[in-house]
Each structure stands twice: as structure tokens, then as C-alpha cells.
Amino acid sequence: MPGVDLADGRRLNLVMETAPDFRIRLAEREDVPTILTLIRELAEYERAPNEVVATEKQLQESLFGAHPAAEVLIGEESGEPVSFALFFHNFSTWMGRRGLYLEDLFVRPAVRGKGYGRALLVRLAELARERDCGRMEWAVLDWNKPAIQFYLKLGARPNEEWTIYRLTREGIARLGGGT
């Protein structure tokens, strides 16, 4: 049966076959340089290479410090990192339970089409189910038609009733009375 070997020894069965040497695991502290490299590659793909200001030190603290803000799954082919998914939990007041928010999913262009993105989403859905999440959510850039088609094929639907708003650090400082 096609699938992905998970780091804990279980096999995740998939409709789409992945390479036999592909595995998904939770990132560890030692993975921070790799995670930052993958974030920079994602920023290149999203046409925003100069917007990455994260440092290894910040990621160490944010992902593996006393109060981790997010988690990362790393997809490896033959032991080489080729994809990642960074996610965290949000909360639905109406549902009264947490959800899983996928901040970023990236598969290196050279290995796209092998089912790795789907495998990461399947693993995230499994985690969401194990953690009793009420929903999974993520955002996609309007121009990223391949990603939109990919998500639609998985059964995800856009939430057209909501518009995302954002304050940057400068906006937060202005609103919060800082400099």
C-alpha cells in the first residue's frame, strides 16, 4: 500500500504514492538552520525574498523555547530535507475548541509532484484529529493557482466571507502607543 513512514515507526497510507524513501518527522532544535533555509526558499517562491527577517536565534526561541509558538514538520527524501509545514494552534470561540492553523507549507521545486505536499497535509490532519481540533485553516496567495488547485482537489474550500487583516510591528506600535 502506498504511504509514508512516520518518524515514530507508523506507516501513513495515502491515495497518491510517494517515494519509498520519503518520511515525515517533527522538527528538532538542531533543524533550525534547515528550517530557516526552507523559509527563505519559500519567500523566494512567494516573490518576497527580502521580507524574511527571522534569525536562527529567534526560531530557536519561538519553536523550542520555554513557550513554543509553533511546530514544524519536515519531509525528508533519502534523509535530505525537501519540504516543511509550520503550524500552530488557534482557537474557535464558537466551537469552544482549538484548531490547527497551517502558516506555511513548502516543497522544494525539484521534488514537486511526488505527493510530498499532500503527505504533509495528511499528517497535519492526523495531528488535528489526534489533538481534537475543530478545524484546519490556512491562507493562500491569490496568484498561487497551483496551490489553490491542489487545495481544492483535497476538498478544502475558500472562506470567501472573511478578509484577513494585518497589523505589522509598526502598526502594532502605533496602535499600542509605542514608538
Q: Among 26, 56, 28, 25, which Cα is nearest to 40's?
A: 56
Instruction: Kindly tell me the burial class for residue 48, based on how many C-beta atoms sit within 10 Å of its own C-beta (0-12, 13-18, 19 or more).
Output: exposed
Average pLDDT, the chain: 90
CATH number of 3-175: 3.40.630.30
Catalytic hit among 45, 101, 116, 151: 151
Rounded to two decimals, the pTM is 0.85
DSSP 144: -
CA distance 122 to 49: 28
pLDDT given for residue 83 in this prediction: 98
Catalytic residue list contains 151? yes
pLDDT in tens, 104-148: 999 999 999 999 999 999 999 999 999 999 999 999 999 999 999
9 band by pLDDT with thresholds 50, 70 and 90: low
Percent of the chain whose pLDDT exceeds 70: 89
Q: What is the pLDDT of residue 20?
A: 82
Polymer length of the chain: 179
So where are the chain's domains?
3-175
Paired strand residues for 73 = 26, 85
